[in-house]
Amino acid sequence: MSASGIRDYLDGPHKQARDVVRAGLAANAELFEFAVRQPRAEYRESVLEMLRAITAEGHPARGFPKEYGGGGDLGGFIAGFETLAFGDLSLMVKAGVQFGLFAGAILHLGTERHHEEYLADAISGRLLGCFAMTETGHGSNVQALGTTATYDVATGEFVVHTPDAAARKDYIGNAAQHGRLAAVFAQLVVGGERHGVHCLLVPIRDESGEALPGVTLSDCGPKLGLNGVDNGRIVFDQVRVPRSALLDRYAQVDAEGNYFSAIENPDRRFFTMLGTLVQGRVSVGGAAINASKVALAIAIKYGAERRQFGAPGSAEETVLLDYRMHQRRLLPLLARTYAMHFAQGALVDEFVRVSADRSSEHDQRALEAQAAGTKALGTWHATETIQMCREACGGAGYLAENRLATLKADTDVFTTFEGDNTVLLQLVAKGLLTDYRESFGKLDPLGTARFIAAQAVEVAVEKAALRPLIERLRDAVPNRNDAADPDAGLRDDAYHSGLLRFREQHMLSGVARRLKAGIDAGDDAFDVFNRCQDHVIAAGRAHVDRVVLEAFQAAVESAPEEIQQVLKDVYDLHALATIEGERAWYLEHGRLSPGRSKAITALVNELCAVVRPVAVELVDAFGVPGAAVEVPMVVRSQHE
Amino acid sequence: MSASGIRDYLDGPHKQARDVVRAGLAANAELFEFAVRQPRAEYRESVLEMLRAITAEGHPARGFPKEYGGGGDLGGFIAGFETLAFGDLSLMVKAGVQFGLFAGAILHLGTERHHEEYLADAISGRLLGCFAMTETGHGSNVQALGTTATYDVATGEFVVHTPDAAARKDYIGNAAQHGRLAAVFAQLVVGGERHGVHCLLVPIRDESGEALPGVTLSDCGPKLGLNGVDNGRIVFDQVRVPRSALLDRYAQVDAEGNYFSAIENPDRRFFTMLGTLVQGRVSVGGAAINASKVALAIAIKYGAERRQFGAPGSAEETVLLDYRMHQRRLLPLLARTYAMHFAQGALVDEFVRVSADRSSEHDQRALEAQAAGTKALGTWHATETIQMCREACGGAGYLAENRLATLKADTDVFTTFEGDNTVLLQLVAKGLLTDYRESFGKLDPLGTARFIAAQAVEVAVEKAALRPLIERLRDAVPNRNDAADPDAGLRDDAYHSGLLRFREQHMLSGVARRLKAGIDAGDDAFDVFNRCQDHVIAAGRAHVDRVVLEAFQAAVESAPEEIQQVLKDVYDLHALATIEGERAWYLEHGRLSPGRSKAITALVNELCAVVRPVAVELVDAFGVPGAAVEVPMVVRSQHE
């Protein structure tokens, strides 16, 4: 077993893309000092400078079409972006805004003339831009945006306007200082008729950085973290842009004010447009998982050296990581980080596949759900892991110089941006309940409660399925009779899958049944949905838990022989810690006996001890650049 | 039901002390801007200025003896200190360092001459000081400190020295900039003999702020939060102080170099000294609970106004707090905040009682355990609650102007300082297992594994007790037969207590049994302890959970009639959410049937809906000053 063997396997097909970014980060060690040592204004400028430096290294171009200077390698682009999360996270987020969101909107929502005019400059960082979607009063509910873009047939222009305070664009990266052009999401009004949310390119600053007439820009001010990103607010007062400013891939307006779209249903059109932006969600989940790796690398290296208290009669104090409680706090999170890494890899593969072949709307919707679920679990995982690492490093973990503080502050908003996690898990559950056939599904989870209920029941009936399926699973899963030998089969992959699949299916069918019963009883659809909301979200989560688990299983199976055993140990720790975390549910549903439930807890403890001796190798295998990990407390602990 | 009625009840006997501090905070609204608007250097000066302002208002003097200008009101002093947590937390922590730790060490460990010389100046803020205990290499394990204080009989001086890098004093508040005198904890060496850790007063800076000869001071640099406190490092190079510098209440050294102490056993002496410092732990727990109140006041007021998504067919979007998931995320934490508030009140009462009557060593040790447990749960509660409030407020919660970010960053270290929470819970369990008879118990939880095991078994046998007690509890607790009516008695206080007591006793006796079995089998004592460490900590937590629950029960019982029902609803939510959180354990141990377990979850949902209409009144009753809560997002949501 060697760390480099595991590292190669973790890096997978996009190893080269990752290594380019790693080398860039390693060559700029001062990068890791920005957040700590610089006042906000300078920090922003340093981040901008680094942003331009990475364009020179070619990272962002990798994901764009070759005709605009790109490399046409979507998978490598995302892997490289994720790797940026080993460095300063403001740089990562600013790169996400510029290349993923701003350039991505032009690429996916625009047509050739937009590509010709803007893409090369956006990719090279010469033209800095904003992705102006969120408004002060409208966060998750994007369809309710208030900004309007009204076509004036007399001049052939769109008039972009902020009608009230709630419609102010808010939290927009690059808006406070650097952005010159904004991709603005607004309600399109043509000939007095509203056509829903569309995207237009609106210049907001001149070359000297001054706001253009009619545009009011302000700064969101200090944030908990990510202070190297200039988030700001934008208010439009009747700002005129030419008709060509509309990103018109999915809808066009001609000079006479006729509106055309190949997608007739407005909801479907909206979700088709949004769907092209799934890349942002895919990327943020991966970045969060990588930020967890940095925190674990720091905390585990520190815990493997730092001594505190001693065994009786021993002159030396005991290494922290030899304490059971310390293992319990860190090692299941390390195992879950491996699980999330492989789940993210599978998601990126699927994203590349679906992007290349846009034929199936079903697959596109399923991909969006997979991205939403991985983003939600990956970002919550980051919040939990970094918090635990901070606590496990005590007072030293609180000092900025040791990086955990910065990681914590910077990543905290990941659970919110690119989609609030609870809303995303609702989306996941909804997709499963309707088998993605509501292809133009509203983001609004309530407005369609009735539809979901009907669809869910139909899906359930059609699959013939739910009850027999559950029965089949029941057979596959050792049950109450496990009392005879509570340890039997606990490390069996099929057993783990069986339990997680049973839970997922049981929860989904339960939700479907409750929704249908409520609707059949004539209750208000909102109330019906709201009564089940916690259940819906739990069902979404149960699904993603299962997908993550099975991605890890597949990765163990295809691993090179020399690292297979160590990965299997880590996998088992992840699987059993996951089941342990939900053991109340399994006990309630007769899927675990009390004896077996306790045996699982005991085995998690044992597996922590099994993984402990290779814990440092396991974090080394993440390939986090040295400068990110060699913080003062780690260096000191290694020399004491 | 009125918020002011509840508020009066929450404020309790120390209402006046709380109101003085509230008024001070309200009169200095700029205080709430310090952390956000000021660079670190200025921020520190502003905090110092405010520190001096509060001395003028008489808050810190309240807790000290009348002969040194104090008020002799310990309970009011702590209540006032807790109330500081409604304001800037750097100010609160700096006040804790100066008045609680530094002046407290002089008061409790020194004798009359120290009181005469320093107390009045320390209380007035004229003499700023440090509490120099923690070292770079020695955090939780205070008995292992490396700094030495060696008596030189030739000159009648102590020589204070830092022998190696691990012995550097670290994270010391007031050390980087403002402190002039330090209470230094060091290994006392007299006539070549080591007498364990003692405390001496060592000048570190002259009047102009320069480090004194032999003293090297440095800055810990930026931290995740609390950047208004100047934490620093101190290295001593053979620094000489007169013999009178030793705080000699518990041990004296005469001019000829003879060491005396009325407490012969060095461990017992050490823990007697440490015990006098319990006030710090009592105060930090209370401050953490109050910080949670601020976060909840902000998030609940925002959630009660902010709209997102809508019921089908409704023109208006739905208020966040009407969503079940939003209620689920915030309201059980609100209920637990009430529980912690009352538990903290009971702790302060007990602290005042034991402080007035120091006769019983058993009571003193029990108080220390109660303080440790309340501190651990209160500070973890703050971390969890503030995190949830941030997420529940989305992107707005991430902006510094809305205060949650600052609260999160500032409170994060509370789980670490004044005792790492996991170490504290071990202390709690150890006290219970030995019935506090190990009056000189080592902080080191391992060194005494054998002793604990022996004692624990003895205690168990002596109480006659454990098995019959568990049997009695078993009778009191509805058991498997609850299947007939899963809802019966779910809101019965005695049922809640019965479950929590059963769990506590079962876990403690389980730990005792495992420790004894391991020792009897001749296993290495460290291994025996380490195998049970997670179990020990869980047992400590189970105990504190029960103490908190019963404090809330007692508070409901003695509440004025007009608020009793609303408090009972909040109590029930807390009790059932606590049981729900541990339902896996109850299912494993046959104390809940699956049906009853599910019924508890359903009832928690119902109770959220019951508490929802009074949620705003419940946070108003905390009496958080307006300026702390009226952050931009709250004000805006109320006017939209």
Q: Which residue has the higher pLDDT, A527 or B455?
A: A527
B426 pLDDT exceeds 50?
Answer: yes
List domains and CATH numbers for chain B: 3-124 (1.10.540.10), 131-265 (2.40.110.10), 278-626 (1.20.140.10)
B75 pLDDT exceeds 90?
Answer: yes
For position A450, what pLDDT does the model report? 53
Q: Which residue has the tokens 């720091």?
A: A298
- As a whole number of angstroms, the longest Cα–Cα distance in chain A is 91
Verify whether the Cβ–Cβ distance A409 to B413 is below 8 Å: no
For position A444, what pLDDT does the model report? 47
Substitution target from B430, B587, B631, B633 for chain A, most A beta carbons within 10 A: B587
Verify whether the Cβ–Cβ distance A324 to B136 is below 8 Å: no
Q: What is the DSSP string of A69-107?
A: T----HHHHHHHHHHHTTS-HHHHHHHIIIIIIIHHHHH
Instruction: Give the pairing type, strands A259-260 and A252-253.
Output: antiparallel
CA distance A612 to A522: 56
Lowest mean per-residue pLDDT among A62-71, A532-541, B160-169: A62-71
B145 pLDDT exceeds 70?
Answer: yes
A295 min Cα distance to partner chain B (Å):
15
Segment B530-575, tens digit of pLDDT: 999 999 999 999 999 999 999 999 999 999 999 999 999 999 999 9
- Contacts by residues B46-52 (CB-CB < 8 Å, ≥ 24 positions apart): B46/B228, B47/B88, B47/B90, B47/B91, B47/B94, B47/B228, B47/B229, B48/B94, B48/B178, B50/B88, B50/B91, B51/B91, B51/B94, B51/B95, B51/B98, B51/B125, B52/B125
B469 pLDDT exceeds 70?
Answer: no
B556 min Cα distance to partner chain A (Å):
29
B588 pLDDT exceeds 90?
Answer: yes
B254 min Cα distance to partner chain A (Å):
32
Verify whether the Cβ–Cβ distance B144 to A450 is below 8 Å: no
CA distance A8 to A491: 26
CA distance A137 to A169: 9
CA distance A96 to A84: 10
For position B373, what pLDDT does the model report? 98
Contact criterion met (CB below 8 Å) for B5 and B562: yes
A441 pLDDT exceeds 50?
Answer: no
- As a whole number of angstroms, the longest Cα–Cα distance in chain B is 91
Please state the rounded mean pLDDT for residues A525-535.
89
Facing A588 at nearest CB: one of B312, B447, B598 = B598
pLDDT band at A640 (very low <50, low <70, confident <90, very high): low
- Which residues on A lie below 8 Å from B526 (Cβ)? 311-312, 314, 318
Q: Which residue has the higher pLDDT, A141 or A261?
A: A261
Q: Which two tokens stand for residue B184?
A: 């230094």
Q: Is A415 on the interface with B (CB under 8 A)?
A: yes
Contact criterion met (CB below 8 Å) for A453 and A512: yes
For position A357, what pLDDT does the model report? 81
Q: What is the DSSP string of B357-380?
A: -TT-HHHHHHHHHHHHHHHHHHHH
For position A310, what pLDDT does the model report? 67
For position A361, what pLDDT does the model report? 84
Facing B222 at nearest CB: one of A400, A444, A446 = A400
Which residues 39-58 of A are in CB contact (within 8 Å) with B?
A: 39
Q: Which residue has the tokens 């007790």?
A: B465
Q: Which two tokens stand for residue A380?
A: 């919550």
CA distance A445 to A418: 17
CA distance B386 to B407: 7
B462 pLDDT exceeds 70?
Answer: no
Q: How many C-beta neighbours within 10 Å does residue B87 have?
A: 27
Q: Is B465 on the interface with A (CB under 8 A)?
A: no
% of chain A beyond a pLDDT of 90: 75
Residue B501's identity, in one-letter code, is: R
Please state the rounded mean pLDDT for residues A601-619.
98
- Return mean pLDDT, chain B: 90
Q: Which two tokens stand for residue B338?
A: 């009430």
- Which residues on B lie below 8 Å from A310 (Cβ)? 444, 446-447
B471 pLDDT exceeds 70?
Answer: no
Facing A399 at nearest CB: one of B223, B325, B525 = B223
Please state the rounded mean pLDDT for residues B266-273.
89
Q: Is B409 on the interface with A (CB under 8 A)?
A: yes
Lowest mean per-residue pLDDT among A325-334, A335-344, A627-636, B441-450: B441-450
Q: Is A221 on the interface with B (CB under 8 A)?
A: yes
pLDDT band at A440 (very low <50, low <70, confident <90, very high): very low
Contact criterion met (CB below 8 Å) for A294 and A403: yes
Spatial CB neighbours of A540, under 8 Å, sequence gap ≥ 6:
A373, A376, A424, A425, A426, A427, A428, A429, A432
CA distance B527 to B513: 15
A445 pLDDT exceeds 50?
Answer: no
Please state the rounded mean pLDDT for residues B107-121.
96
Residues paired with A181 in a beta bridge: A129, A203
Spatial CB neighbours of A380, under 8 Å, sequence gap ≥ 6:
A415, A421
pLDDT band at A452 (very low <50, low <70, confident <90, very high): low
- Which residues on B lie below 8 Å from A312 (Cβ)? 446-450, 525-526
Lowest mean per-residue pLDDT among A398-402, B3-7, B246-250: B3-7
Segment A42-91, tens digit of pLDDT: 999 999 999 998 888 888 889 999 888 888 899 999 999 999 999 999 99
Segment B479-521, tens digit of pLDDT: 444 556 667 899 999 999 999 999 999 999 999 889 888 888 9
Three-state DSSP string of B23-35: HHHHCCHHHHHHH
Mark out the alpha helices in A96-225 (DSSP H runs): 103-109, 112-114, 120-124
Find, among A334, A318, A397, A327, the residue nearest to B415 by Cα.
A397
CA B247, B248, B250 angle in degrees (round to 5)? Answer: 120
Verify whether the Cβ–Cβ distance A323 to B530 is below 8 Å: yes
Segment A233-246, tens digit of pLDDT: 999 999 999 999 99
CA B296, B299, B302 angle in degrees (round to 5)? Answer: 140
% of chain B beyond a pLDDT of 90: 75
pLDDT band at B638 (very low <50, low <70, confident <90, very high): confident
Q: Which residue has the higher pLDDT, A276 or B201?
A: B201
A599 pLDDT exceeds 80?
Answer: yes
Segment B227-238, tens digit of pLDDT: 999 999 999 999
A456 pLDDT exceeds 80?
Answer: no
Q: Which residue has the higher pLDDT, A333 or A509?
A: A333
pLDDT band at B461 (very low <50, low <70, confident <90, very high): very low
B446 pLDDT exceeds 70?
Answer: no
- Which residues on A lie below 8 Å from B391 (Cβ)? 415-416, 421
Please state the rounded mean pLDDT for residues A436-454.
52
Q: At what angle do helices B74-84 and B278-303 cross, to 10 degrees?
A: 40
For position B321, what pLDDT does the model report? 97
pLDDT band at A639 (very low <50, low <70, confident <90, very high): confident
pTM over 0.90: yes
Q: Is B450 on the interface with A (CB under 8 A)?
A: yes
A105 pLDDT exceeds 60?
Answer: yes
pLDDT band at B256 (very low <50, low <70, confident <90, very high): very high
Contact criterion met (CB below 8 Å) for A623 and A332: no
Spatial CB neighbours of B507, under 8 Å, sequence gap ≥ 6:
B535, B538, B539, B542
Facing B408 at nearest CB: one of A139, A224, A584 = A224
